[in-house]
Amino acid sequence: MIHLHLLLIGLLPNVWLNQLSAVHALTAAVGSTSEVTLSGVGCEEDAAGAICFGDNSEQVLLPPALQPGVVGFWSFDTVMPLDASGNDNHGLASLQAGPSLAGQGSSAHFFKSNFMVVRGSETLKLQDFSYTFWIHVLDDAAGPHQGLRVCPLLRKGSADGRVEDGQTPLPPAPAIFIDRQSRHLRIEVGTVGGTPGLMASLGTEGFDSNARLKRGRWYHIAVVRLNGQRRTRLYVNGVLDASQSTKGFTAPNSGPLYVGGDPSSGDQCNVPMYIDELKIYNRPLSHDEIQAEAAPALAGVEASFLRLACTDCPLEIAMQNCPDTYHICNSLELHMGGYQIAHALGYLKHGGNVWSHYTTVQPGTTMDKVSQSMGITPARAAVSPAAAVSGPAPAPSPGIAPSLGLGLCCADAA
């Protein structure tokens, strides 16, 4: 076994050797959970191609397949939170394993002051970036009323003002928080500069999500920063949940990365959670890339099927907010997947209304006969999800229709 281990160390490519050496160094620490530096591991031998084993090369080892731009990838499937991107952005110390998203491997179980630290590096000092991961929020036995209400899930840099080598303190961002009471997410980005006459001082700019994370289920989160456009986008389960422009451009942050909490809030925040498949990109991901990665979250309904227009607005505003190739969902589309997505993302409120657009059809057509048999008339109405379950709602009478409702946009038929 020892000879095989030495053989692998001599043959494996750079990224494999870094991981094997890191595990060996940590196991030699006799179970210590203190911070251990994993960077700077060198290689004596490199293998540019595949490594084959067996008389007929029946077993082949290949480096991990990575998407373009991945600068940090923590799958949490190993004893240590190792970076599989090949950039040596390994987590410090071991983490407790949790159940994985897809039933293979494991996730990282974060709770109380148990969080992951990744030392700052040039590869993580980004202005254009994308952060993607899966999260499963657990029940907090202590309840959300003890400690801080808004707690960090992920933060670049420490909020306690720590600096190294006399550097000027930078905003602890980008950061992703969760409101423990409302369960909305909050996204913050450190910005500075801007257009002449509208220069933004060094600080943070943020916004809240429309989605509310329910406890006990997996969510896919993606935060995308387009520095040239000074815009930040938040996707939840592949659906564009919120987008905000900033006054300034991204302030590069060379601080450490904290996942699952940070030193400044460890005693005041207890958000037990599982996090899996955390990735950092040095570029903005496209809609298609995010939706493909988040596909398992919606149980067969494609994320591009629905866009959020508004959570509480008049019908006219909801219609205006639907992008090109989208329209206010009709009753059939809501039942085909609209309500399912809205429920999963926490858009539906008890006693709230949902705008529904009954499609106008040509008299005498097959669709007209189907509509007549279902009792659907060409009209626009706001209905409550509970009422919609029992059947299509009739067109509201003047003066009865609610003035505000949830606006959901469905994709036009191809």
229-285: pLDDT as tens digits:
999 999 999 999 999 999 999 998 889 999 999 888 877 888 899 999 999 999 999
Q: Which of 133, 132, 118, 152 is nearest to 257 (CA)?
A: 118
Q: Of 12-26, 194-208, 309-323, 332-346, give the lowest mean pLDDT range.
A: 12-26
Chain segment 25-73, per-residue pLDDT in tens: 333 333 333 344 444 444 556 676 778 888 887 788 887 788 999 999 9
pLDDT band at 93 (very low <50, low <70, confident <90, very high): confident
What DSSP designation does 128 have? S
ω into 323 cis (within 30 of 0): no
* 66 compared with 11, residue with greater pLDDT: 66
Task: Please state, in angstroms and rounded to a whole number, the distance separating the CA atoms of residues 128 and 64.
Answer: 24
What's the pTM?
0.79
Q: Which residues contact 307 (CB under 8 A, 6 or more apart)?
A: 239, 240, 322, 323, 326, 408, 409, 411
pLDDT of residue 99: 94
* 389 compared with 226, residue with greater pLDDT: 226
Reading the block at residue 349, the tokens are 């409120």
Instruction: For residue 380, list its beta bridge partners.
Output: 357
Task: Please state, in angstroms and rounded to a whole number, the distance separating the CA atoms of residues 384 and 352.
Answer: 6
- Residue whose pair of structure tokens reads 């005693």 in the numeric block: 267
pLDDT band at 297 (very low <50, low <70, confident <90, very high): very high
Q: Which residues contact 370 (CB under 8 A, 6 or more apart)?
A: none
Give the DSSP H or E segment for 385. Answer: helix 385-389
Whole-number mean pLDDT of the chain? 79
pLDDT of residue 147: 82
Task: Please state, in angstroms and rounded to a whole number, the distance separating the CA atoms of residues 309 and 97.
Answer: 38
Task: Please state, in angstroms and rounded to a whole number, the distance separating the CA atoms of residues 223 and 236.
Answer: 9
Show the CA angle centred on residue 380, arms to residues 376 and 385, nearest 5°.
Answer: 75
What average pLDDT does the segment 318-330 reach? 94
pLDDT of residue 386: 45
Q: Are 186 and 177 in contact (CB under 8 A)?
A: yes
Query: Span 65-298: which CATH code?
Result: 2.60.120.200
pLDDT of residue 362: 46
4: left (phi over 0), alpha (psi -120 to 50) or beta: alpha
pLDDT of residue 226: 97
| Measured torsion, CA atoms of residues 246, 252, 256, 258, in degrees rounded to the nearest 10 | 20
Q: Are 328 and 355 in contact (CB under 8 A)?
A: yes
* Helices 2-11 and 14-27, axial angle in degrees (round to 10): 140
Chain segment 331-361, per-residue pLDDT in tens: 999 999 999 999 999 999 888 899 987 544 4
pLDDT band at 6 (very low <50, low <70, confident <90, very high): very low
Strands 107-110 and 273-281: antiparallel
For residue 302, report the phi and psi dihedrals to the nearest 5 degrees: -70, 140
pLDDT of residue 269: 87
pLDDT of residue 333: 93
Q: Which of 140, 21, 15, 11 is nearest to 75 (CA)?
A: 15
Task: Please state, in angstroms and rounded to a whole number, the distance separating the CA atoms of residues 183 and 170.
Answer: 27
Q: Are 129 and 281 in contact (CB under 8 A)?
A: yes
